[in-house]
Amino acid sequence: MRRLVIFIFCLTFWLLAACGSGTSSGIEKQAVDSGISDVQALYEQRCATCHGLQGNMAMGGARKLTESALPKEEVLAQIRYGKGAMPPFREMLSEEEMTALADYVFTFRPTSKP
Ligand code: HEC
């Protein structure tokens, strides 16, 4: 009887340990996912407050990205250095993130692509 208790105890412990390691690999995956592979989330976090989720909002003098006609280099420069009421992002975002966002804003335009 005592052996059975010990066995069950060990089994429970082993299962918990297995579950534990499962969660930790989940966290690692999340860290990878939070990279620029999720540019939409990055946009929602950094840009949507002023430009709207669909790029069609113009809060506090911001431009509608759906109506923007800037070429990619200027979009990138504006994300990097800011303009007017738009803050510069070069110290908050990596080069890869800014480039990904510059590409992303083109998805709001009805026709032109970068
Ligand atoms: C605090 C509000 C604010 C945030 C946050 C913001 N912007 Fe802006 N954005 C503006 C304003 C204001 C302008 C207009 C600047 C001007 O021309 O005077 C602008 C202009 C732009 C333009 C140029 C549009 C055009 O055709 O003139 C682009 C592209 C742009 N923003 C992209 C972004 C991206 C990408 C992000 C996120 C990384 C972002 N913005 C975050 C306020 C903001």
Which residues does residue 83 pair with via DSSP β-bridges, in sequence order?
Answer: 86
For the stretch 90-106, pLDDT in tens is 999 999 999 999 999 99
Max Cα separation, the chain? Answer: 78
- Is the shortest distance between the CB of 70 and ligand 1 below 6 Å? yes
Which of 44, 80, 86 for a ligand 1 pocket mutation test, highest count of atoms within 8 Å of Cβ?
Answer: 86
Average pLDDT of 63-85? 96
- Is the shortest distance between the CB of 66 and ligand 1 below 6 Å? no
Average pLDDT of 1-25? 57
Ligand 1 centroid – CA 78 distance (Å)? 7
Among 56, 75, 78, which residue's Cα sits nearest to residue 67?
A: 56
Q: What integer pLDDT is reported at residue 60 of this predicted model?
A: 86
Which of 57, 63, 94, 112 for a ligand 1 pocket mutation test, highest count of atoms within 8 Å of Cβ?
Answer: 63
Q: What integer pLDDT is reported at residue 53 of this predicted model?
A: 95
Domain coordinates of the chain in residue numbers?
1-33, 36-114
For the stretch 41-70, pLDDT in tens is 999 999 999 999 999 999 888 999 999 999
Distances (CA, A) of 78 to 8, 21, 30, 51: 62, 43, 29, 14
Ligand 1 centroid – CA 22 distance (Å)? 41
pTM (predicted TM-score): 0.76
pLDDT at 7 over 80: no
Q: CATH homologous superfamily of domain 36-114?
A: Cytochrome c-like domain (1.10.760.10)
Q: Three-state SS across 16-35?
A: HHHHHHHHHHHHHHHHHHCC
